[in-house]
Structure 1
């Protein structure tokens, strides 16, 4: 198993069906509880363990999910209210090195994920097919992304990072 991608990379081709969107929305709805469960009972010392050699500490993974998913919801809202907006990239690896990501208790980001995902799911459940077909432009990748596809990316993103934590716990027996 590639420890960087314990569930593989995100792959989806073709149309995104209503059934697929419902599953991805469910994944996003379940992420906060899965994140909380993934770190349940871990000591501060264990939360400082990297999920792989050269990887982020478990606590950085939790804080990263909050950072990343906040950015994603903003991108959704931009795409819903503007015509193919150019989104603002951010350096996630630099954000992960900031003191809040390295030192702050994970509970703060777990609370962000709880509230953010409740609000995000409420929005996602009201979107129409036409809304999901809206797009944004990412200047770093030079790609235009549809919201339905991006929904899948973030459903995968949450599962991906939860697997970083749970696979380390499994390998170490913690």
Structure 2
């Protein structure tokens, strides 16, 4: 078998030429790969939340979507149901000013969420402001159930709990007015 250097020498291609071609084909040295920009944004966001700052994040992508319900008695009962199903409910943010709960659900859930009379599921291109991880009480939005790295709220059991408990008032009209969207 012929050694690689011998083949390169026989064809007139030098090692320096091969290296130069590889470097040129890799693109500019300081230009990050497209998926690295998203990763960097996610890391900056999570560090900001951990550092006691509220942080606006895009829904969808690789993080999560959000289900929005009222925060009344029926919705709190749904949190208790999810506590028992999950051994502690996945992350839920309460927004006392609007009277809503934001349930963090797996990414892509908004495209699979069946229309619901008492809840709306949103994903990309919408955003949500995550409160600092240390905010666990009102007056501003706070973690009713803290975010844990190992879980989100599963949509199937959540959909069923909301169907049974029917939290009122529904968020549909408010979302249509505030966000200018038609919820699905």
TM over 0.5: no
Q: Under a length normalisation based on structure 1, what TM-score does the superposition of the two structures give?
A: 0.24
Larger % of strand: which? 2
Q: Under a length normalisation based on structure 2, what TM-score does the superposition of the two structures give?
A: 0.23
Larger % of helix: which? 1
Work out which of the two has the higher radius of gyration on C-alpha atoms and give 1 or 2.
Answer: 2
Which structure would you say has the larger RCO, counting Cα contacts within 8 Å and 6 or more residues apart?
1
